[in-house]
Structures are given as structure tokens and as C-alpha cells.
């Protein structure tokens, strides 16, 4: 194992300076608002979304199902947890049996009276590029605003271009660059 440093951006959106359109979902997709009975489903979507991505190298827990279960428990157990900004996207086309397939997750916390933070946004690989990432972030932002937040921030690995592009296109602005140290496996050269 060796130590690597990952460049991370803190990005922030201010509700006073952006319009938040209502998100739309294609037929068969629906938002499920937070309920404690959905905790395991959030953990599973988180794991499926992050297991092969750069963030599972930055945060090892994201690359393990048990790590995602633990993380979801920690997030949902915080006093600052915001149910209104925590959503699943489920796909269940008409005629198919419930519960369908869960394909997106997002969670929100309050970091002060008017400042919220998005925890993890994940869309499972088979459902990417369909506008679901944009839709779930918007749905969460609307929940933050309803719960009294004026600004929301998140942290994203700088090399994660899809995510950085998504946040920029929604109106998030770069506030700070940070470096996160993480233990990574080093390739053995024989």
C-alpha cells in the first residue's frame, strides 16, 4: 500500500442566484422519499454506483457493501439528517412487478442553520446518461430549500469529470480546492 493525494473540489450553490427547475423523470421512473425502511436499498445503490469509480479509491468504504451499509447508518442517524433532501430513484415500468430496480441515491445533511451538504450522489452504471443524475440532485436541492437551507455544498474528486460537469451545469461554483490523502494499492512490478 502507498499514500496518494486526490485533488478535491468544494462546490457550492446559492439558491438566491439560481433557478431550480422541477426535475422530470421518464416514464417508469419515480422518486422515493426517505423512509427508514429504505436504508438498505440506499446502501445497495450507493455500493453499485461507487464500487468501480475513483471515489472508492479515495474512500474505501464506498467500494464495499458493508462500508456503504455502515455509512448509510451513520448519515441517517445524524441529528442533522434531512429526509426531504434524501431520495432514491426507482425504475418500475408498467406491467412489471414491484419493487422494480433502484437506480439512484442521494442524501442530505444540514451543516448549520441555512447551509446544507449533499453526501453521496450515485446513479448505477446501466442507468447513466439518461438525465437521472441531474434529476436527483435537483430533487434533493428542492428538499433542502423547503427545509430552510439557503446554500448547499458538496465535495467532489477533481478527476470525476461527469460529476464536476453535472454540478457546474446546475449552478454549483468552485469554492475551494483540497487534497485528500488515501491509502491505495501500489502495482507490483516483477
Q: Which stretch binds ligand COA (CB under 6 A): 35-43, 75-83, 116-124, 177-185?
A: 116-124
Helix (H) or strand (E) holding 139: helix 132-146
Q: How far is the CB of 132 from ligand COA (least distance, A)?
A: 4
Q: From residue 144, how far is each of 7, 22, 39, 98, 138 by CA, in Å?
A: 27, 14, 19, 29, 10
21 binding ligand COA? (CB under 6 A): no
165 binding ligand COA? (CB under 6 A): yes
The footprint of ligand COA on this chain (CB under 6 A) covers a number of residues equal to 22
Cβ(169)–Cβ(19) under 8 Å? no
71 binding ligand COA? (CB under 6 A): no
Cβ(68)–Cβ(43) under 8 Å? yes
Q: How far apart are CA 114 and CA 11, in angstroms?
A: 16
Q: From residue 147, how far is each of 33, 140, 170 by CA, in Å?
A: 14, 11, 20
Q: Which stretch binds ligand COA (CB under 6 A): 37-45, 84-92, 125-133, 172-180?
A: 125-133
Q: Which stretch binds ligand COA (CB under 6 A): 2-10, 17-25, 132-140, 175-183?
A: 132-140
Query: What residues make contact with ligand COA under the rule CB under 6 A?
Result: 49-50, 53, 55, 121-123, 128-134, 156, 160-163, 165-166, 169
Amino acid at each position: 500500500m502507498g499514500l496518494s493525494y486526490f485533488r478535491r473540489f468544494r462546490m457550492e450553490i446559492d439558491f438566491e442566484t439560481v433557478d431550480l427547475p422541477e426535475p422530470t423523470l421518464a416514464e417508469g421512473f419515480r422518486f422515493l422519499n426517505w423512509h427508514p425502511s429504505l436504508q438498505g436499498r440506499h446502501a445497495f445503490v450507493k455500493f453499485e454506483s461507487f464500487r468501480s469509480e475513483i471515489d472508492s479509491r479515495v474512500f474505501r468504504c464506498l467500494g464495499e457493501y458493508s462500508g456503504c451499509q455502515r455509512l448509510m447508518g451513520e448519515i441517517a442517524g445524524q441529528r442533522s439528517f434531512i429526509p426531504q433532501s434524501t431520495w432514491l430513484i426507482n425504475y418500475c415500468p408498467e406491467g412489471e412487478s414491484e419493487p422494480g430496480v433502484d437506480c439512484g441515491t442521494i442524501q442530505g445533511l444540514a451543516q448549520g442553520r441555512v447551509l446544507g451538504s449533499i453526501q453521496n450522489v450515485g446513479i448505477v452504471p446501466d442507468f447513466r446518461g439518461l438525465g437521472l443524475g441531474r434529476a436527483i440532485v435537483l430533487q434533493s436541492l428542492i428538499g433542502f430549500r423547503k427545509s430552510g437551507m439557503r446554500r448547499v455544498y458538496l465535495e467532489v474528486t477533481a478527476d470525476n469529470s461527469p460529476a464536476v460537469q453535472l454540478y457546474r451545469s446546475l449552478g454549483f461554483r468552485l469554492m475551494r480546492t483540497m487534497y485528500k490523502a488515501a491509502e491505495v494499492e501500489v502495482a507490483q512490478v516483477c
